[in-house]
Amino acid sequence: MEIIFLGTSEATPTAEKNQTAILLKYNNENILVDCGEGTQRQFKIAKLNPCKLTRILITHWHGDHVLGLPGLLQTLALNNYSKILHIYGPKGTKYFLTLLLKTFAFISREKLKLEIHEILKKETILETKDFKIEAYPMKHFAPCLAYSFIEKDRYKINIEYLKIHGIKEGPWLKELQKGKDIAVNGKKILASKATTLKKGKKITFIFDTLLNENCVKAAENADLLIAEATFFDKEHADLAKERRHLTAKQAATIAKKAKAKELILTHISQRYSKKEQLLLEEAKKIFKNTKLANDFMKILL
């Protein structure tokens, strides 16, 4: 699993930071979380192929999180994107995407094969044999969601143990990988002996919201929490509340209460472009394992 930060600024980009966009790569999935202005150019700079995208998760329909969609969809259409692109978002997503497709007539919905999923409440929005994605309503000026990508636990086969018992490869290995005991050639093989449980990873994305109980629920036991830290609490706590954003202190508090393992701060206001360390220091006082995101930063899990 790999996380690539394609944009880490807040509403106004800077020379160093593009608007919000994060790519999660997992097996054959390439999942884009938000698509700020200029995201497709960030793909080019990072030497990533946007035609490998499988899903887009929209947290909310404010410009700095979606203005890159028209250009990205145009690029996919012009490059004969052949997969079904699944786009998930909060209330209003179907309406806004319909307007976007009508406004930019060069984007053919039929050609692109879009499937639009509108999420109205806390729910599991996708589940496969390997992972699931959960959505949690947030509190912002527009309907807004946090997302958690949750890899399922899996059992790794102990090859040496099977060799000792003379068990060769076969369809029974699938049962072991499900944690089930098997019988082969009259021998009972216990999954507890023949496999090792590998815990799945959890990554949570929380952007643009007032502090609320769903923040902690979404991030519970996350291996990685990626959260906005738009404001420095010591100086701008009131402004953060007025604009319905999190401070670095609040992001760290969420990570601590949720028992997350690591926190990465992103979506930081341009007013701190020369003093981002202040936000990092503020967060680290509450949650030590905190880092600042930068454009093109990569995390391997």
Q: What is the DSSP string of 222-289?
A: -SEEEEE--B-HHHHHHHHHHTT--BHHHHHHHHHHHT-S-EEEE-B-GGGTT-HHHHHHHHHTT-SS
Residue 74, pLDDT > 70, answer yes
Which has more confidence, 189 or 73?
A: 73
Is there a contact between 137 and 158 (Cβ–Cβ < 8 Å)? no
Could you read off the pLDDT of 125-144 as tens digits, one per residue? 999 999 999 999 999 999 99
Residue 3, pLDDT > 70, answer yes
> Over the chain, what is the mean pLDDT?
93
Domains and CATH numbers, the chain: 2-151+200-300 (3.60.15.10), 155-196 (no CATH)
User: Can you give the pLDDT at residue 172?
Assistant: 73
Catalytic residue set: 64
Tell me the two tokens of residue 216: 């902690």
User: Can you give the pLDDT at residue 90?
Assistant: 98
Report d(CA 56, CA 30) in Å as an integer. Answer: 9
User: Can you give the pLDDT at residue 177?
Assistant: 76
In this prediction, residue 110 has a pLDDT band, given cuts at 50, 70 and 90, of low
Could you read off the pLDDT of 13-27 as tens digits, one per residue? 999 999 999 999 999
Q: Of the candidates 256, 249, 242, 201, which has an alpha carbon nearest to the alpha carbon of residue 228?
A: 249
As a whole number, mean pLDDT of residues 269-295 equals: 96
Residue 166, pLDDT > 80, answer no
User: Can you give the pLDDT at residue 291?
Assistant: 98
Could you read off the pLDDT of 86-96 as tens digits, one per residue? 999 999 999 99
Residue 60, pLDDT > 80, answer yes
Could you read off the pLDDT of 248-257 as tens digits, one per residue? 999 999 999 9
Report d(CA 172, CA 183) in Å as an integer. Answer: 8
Single pTM value for the model:
0.92
In this prediction, residue 195 has a pLDDT band, given cuts at 50, 70 and 90, of confident
- CB atoms near residue 271 (< 10 Å): 15
Residue 111, pLDDT > 90, answer no
Report d(CA 183, CA 114) in Å as an integer. Answer: 46
Task: For residue 250, count CB atoms less than 10 angstroms from its CB and return exposed for 0-12, middle for 13-18, buried for 19 or more.
Answer: buried
User: Can you give the pLDDT at residue 263?
Assistant: 98
User: Can you give the pLDDT at residue 179?
Assistant: 79
Is there a contact between 118 and 89 (Cβ–Cβ < 8 Å)? yes
Report d(CA 179, CA 181) in Å as an integer. Answer: 7
List of residues 6+ apart from 72 with CB closer than 8 A: 35, 39, 40, 50
β partners of residue 26:
29
As a whole number, mean pLDDT of residues 231-251 equals: 97
